Structure 1
Amino acid sequence: MTPQLTDKYMVTIAERLTSAYARIADAAKIAQRNTNEVTLLAVSKTKPSEDVIAAYEHGQREFGESYVQEAIDKIAQLQSYSDIIWHFIGPIQSNKSALVAANFDWVQSVDRIKIAKRLDSQRPDDKQPLNILIQVNISNEEAKSGCHRDEIDELADFINQCEHLTLRGLMAIPAKSNDLDTQIQSFEQLQTCFDKLKTQYPQVDTLSMGMSNDVEAAISAGSTMVRIGTDIFGTRT
């Protein structure tokens, strides 16, 4: 049964979503870019279906999830909202890859050939190819997922040859910093990798970087998709 909205959800999430879009527009203007060049991915992980509906009713269509079982339950509850585009943005465990392959439209966290191979073989034949972003560990943090920059070419070549996958670009989560120049420097390194990838694969068009704390730096450095959760849905539980 489709969850029902309450006035509380409609008001607060709608206002926050409006603010998020305004923030993107302001950052794009400062960077002398067109606002339409930047897509907002609303990160709804740990949030109930009612929150997703509230954002949907305000015009949001792209949502990001990180926890497989929670996301699968949410997708099932919201199956009547057929134009929602679901992105998986979390680490992928081998034993959960089939669920990711069957239920999502995008996967932003592919960082090794093993996972790409599983997603390709497990993507249902009756679905469109799965849109793939390669996750890059741009700050070389030991505890963070993502391939190294010198591994992008091999992984991109493999994905490009997969029948059920479409390579669309890169994603990264740089090391946290409150310094704008440091943020921009990290993002510009990924932008360089993205520009190179675009010359090799004409379908590549998505650079997913930037979250609630560094949207301005990401857009300044060329991001085409920012992932915002807390500023839309509030603190995660």
Structure 2
Amino acid sequence: MTTMIADALTSARQRLSRALQDAGRNSDDASLLAVSKTKPAELVREAWQNGQREFGENYVQEALDKQQQLSDLDDIIWHFIGPLQSNKTREVANHFHWVHSVNREKIARRLSDQREDSLGPLQVCLQVNISGESSKSGVSLDELPQLAELVTSLPRLELRGLMAIPAPCDDPQRQREPFAILRGALEQLRSTLPHAQLDTLSMGMSGDLEAAVFEGATMVRLGTAIFGARH
């Protein structure tokens, strides 16, 4: 018996697969991160039952409540993708596998200091304010190399790559421009930090997945396309 979530996941996977094929990339070059913020735990469980393992959350307390309800799913991987305040770093450091939204030194240091040794390194992406919007979080391109170098020196963090949320745009060609800039920034970091495992470009959402995949996305964040519109 198929369900709405099962059908939506199938469609999302097919869409990602087509985008990778059109971009001349391998079918496993990018993965699907299901953005489950504001959605109940039972929908996350349903997505898990249909093979989805990685989920993105924006709100700490909401995510902790869901994690408790889904504690029997021991292979689920939780990504924190929202703005991160200093007073929430301890919970995020110890209840998530990934953080995509590290954007300043203070947050990075707190995550490393507060992460329990037994959990292993926290996987980190630096959020870049790629469109220069004052309303968006993120480190500037000018400040990025310094922050990246700091994160690679912190003992309980592992720098994996970059994340961005560009300004909305309906033109598929123009959508690619900020993603190309982010890809270039990651390539630059690889040349200056050769020992870091810089393999992740977290970019692309329901409205611009194809543009992101064409510019090298390795993780696309889909919420509406899987769970429906947020209330």
Instruction: Tell whether the structures are fold-level matches, with TM greater than 0.5.
Output: yes
- Aligned counterpart in structure 2 of residue 59 of structure 1, from 51, 60, 66: 51
CA distance in 2 between counterparts of 1:92 and 1:166 reads 17
**1:220-235 map, 5 Å:** 220-235=214-229
Determine if contact 1:42/1:63 at 8 Å carries over to the other structure: yes
- Aligned counterpart in structure 1 of residue 42 of structure 2, from 45, 50, 53: 50
Match of 2:213 in 1: 219
CA distance in 2 between counterparts of 1:80 and 1:163 reads 30
Q: Give how far 1:198 is off.
A: 2.3
- Aligned counterpart in structure 1 of residue 144 of structure 2, from 146, 152, 156: 152
CA distance in 2 between counterparts of 1:219 and 1:119 reads 30
Q: Give how far 1:194 is off.
A: 1.0
Give the % identical residues: 53
Q: Give how far 1:186 is off.
A: 1.1
- Aligned counterpart in structure 1 of residue 19 of structure 2, from 20, 27, 30: 27
Q: What amino acid does structure 2 have at the position aligned with 1:99?
A: E
Unpaired segments of 5 or more residues in structure 2? none
CA distance in 2 between counterparts of 1:179 and 1:116 reads 35
Greater Cα offset, 61-70 or 196-205: 196-205
| Matched position secondary structure for 2:117 | coil
| Matched position secondary structure for 2:55 | strand
- Aligned counterpart in structure 1 of residue 125 of structure 2, from 129, 133, 141: 133
CA distance in 1 between counterparts of 2:163 and 2:21 reads 23
Matched, 1:39 2:37: no
CA distance in 1 between counterparts of 2:117 and 2:183 reads 33
Moved over 6 A (4+): none
Q: Give how far 1:205 is off.
A: 0.5
**1:1-237 map, 5 Å:** 11-199=3-191, 200-201=193-194, 202-237=196-231
CA distance in 2 between counterparts of 1:35 and 1:136 reads 27
TM (norm. structure 2) is: 0.97
Unpaired segments of 5 or more residues in structure 1? 1-6
| Matched position secondary structure for 1:102 | helix
1:85-125: CA deviations, max 9, x gaps? 10000000111111101100000000000000010111012
